[in-house]
Amino acid sequence: MTTLKIHSIESAPEESKALLQDSQKAYGMIPGLHGVLAASPSALKGYQVLHELFTNTSFNENELTVVWQAINVEHACHYCVPAHTGIAHMMKVDNEIIESLRNETPLTDAKLESLRTFTLSMVRNRGNVSQQDLEAFYAAGYGEQQVLEIILGLSQKVISNYTNHIANTPVDAAFQKFAWEKK
């Protein structure tokens, strides 16, 4: 089991201290992921910027959650699935959506299910989606902008999911009640 150091504001490289302070202000704590990423100020800043950019896309709270959790579950991220479960609850996402994503069951909303399946196709095929996949996504009411926004969200999740795999980041206390394991 590989682990990486989880930095505090005090132990972090100088260039990461202000970034961790921003995390503390935003979340009322320093998420473990941010503490790990602090070892590389560029990685932490990149993650924070990508997160902010993705949350300001055309996607609403349900759609953000679908993209994040479809990727988290597909990547089997022991840290991000519980964290985004808690975040989804804070964002007032319907519990049926949250549980379907965690359990890898189809969503009852056809448009959201299209978003989930297209996101999974993007992940599983490393961006080499078929014309049929694109057409089905467009037919559900999405467009080129959303294709590119999924890639943005995927970029954010690759940083967090891969970091958590290598670091074996412990789930933050606030999210431990949402613990999850890949079935």
pLDDT at 182: 86
pLDDT at 52: 97
Which DSSP category does 153 fall into? Answer: H
Span 164-174, mean pLDDT? 96
C-alpha distances out from residue 41 to 34, 67, 145, Å: 10, 26, 30
* Residue 162 pLDDT exceeds 90: yes
Span 132-155, mean pLDDT? 98
3-state SS assignment for residue 152: helix
pLDDT at 11: 97
Buried b (16+ CB within 10 A) or exposed e, 72-81: bbbbebbbbb
pLDDT at 1: 58
* Residue 178 pLDDT exceeds 90: yes
3-state SS assignment for residue 160: helix
pLDDT digits (tens, 9 = 90+) for 49-68: 999 999 999 999 999 999 99
How many residues are there in the chain?
Answer: 183
Extended beta strands in the chain, E state: none
Give the rounded percent of residues in the chain with a pLDDT score beyond 70: 99
DSSP per position, 105-129: ---SSHHHHHHHHHHHHHHHTTT--
Give the rounded percent of residues in the chain with a pLDDT score beyond 90: 97
CA dist 96 and 91 (Å) reads 14
Please name the helix (run of DSSP H) or strand (run of DSSP E) that holds residue 46, with its range, or none. Answer: helix 41-55
* Residue 125 pLDDT exceeds 90: yes
pLDDT at 2: 62
